């Protein structure tokens, strides 16, 4: 029997079986995610979506190779969860605290205005330079 890889309902029906639920939570536990982890619910959602992706990307016939698929899905869920947590950690580390973000001014035109001022200055200098100085100015700044 050939399973349709794009049949999401079949993938989630397979996940609904108790042994596969244990597999999912076991993979989360292997990634050090317990129900007391602050991102537990997010990780469960990521694990379920990873199960779906594993189901869709597993090449051999599924009913015949179900034990191998379980190993494949376990590894996929574990490493995708670890990667998800790493990305979340990097994202939170790079965020600016709101207290420090208040004085930060965002002016998208300031860079453009500085570019226009520099262009005007260089144009004025090019008109006043001798030929040798023009070559130096052009090579150095442009």
Please say if the pLDDT value at position 5 is more than 70.
Answer: no
Residue 140: predicted pLDDT? 75
Residue 115, CA distances (Å) to 104, 109, 110, 122, 128 in order: 21, 10, 9, 11, 20
Q: Indicate whether 43 and 76 sit together in one domain.
A: yes
Could you read off the pLDDT of 36-84 as tens digits, one per residue? Answer: 999 999 999 999 999 989 888 888 877 778 889 889 999 999 999 999 9
Tell me if 23 is assigned to some domain.
Answer: yes
Please say if the pLDDT value at position 27 is more than 60.
Answer: yes
Residue 30: predicted pLDDT? 93
Q: Measured between alpha carbons, how far is 20 from 76 in angstroms, rounded to an integer? A: 14
Report the predicted TM-score, pTM, of the whole model to 2 decimal places: 0.62
Q: Who has greater pLDDT, 73 or 1?
A: 73
Q: Indicate whether 84 and 136 sit together in one domain.
A: no
Range of the domain at 128: 110-141
């Amino acid at each position: 029997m050939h399973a349709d890889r794009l049949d999401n309902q079949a993938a989630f029906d397979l996940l609904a079986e108790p042994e596969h639920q244990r597999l999912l939570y076991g993979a989360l536990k292997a990634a050090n995610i317990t129900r007391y982890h602050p991102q537990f619910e997010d990780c469960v959602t990521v694990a379920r979506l990873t199960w779906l992706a594993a189901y869709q990307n597993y090449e051999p016939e599924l009913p015949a190779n179900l034990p191998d698929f379980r190993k494949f899905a376990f590894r996929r869920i574990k490493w995708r969860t670890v990667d998800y947590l790493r990305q979340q950690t990097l994202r939170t580390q790079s965020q600016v605290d709101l207290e420090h973000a208040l004085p930060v001014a965002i002016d998208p035109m300031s860079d453009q205005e500085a570019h226009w001022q520099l262009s005007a200055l260089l144009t004025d200098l090019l008109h006043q330079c001798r030929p040798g100085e023009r070559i130096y100015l052009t090579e150095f700044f442009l």
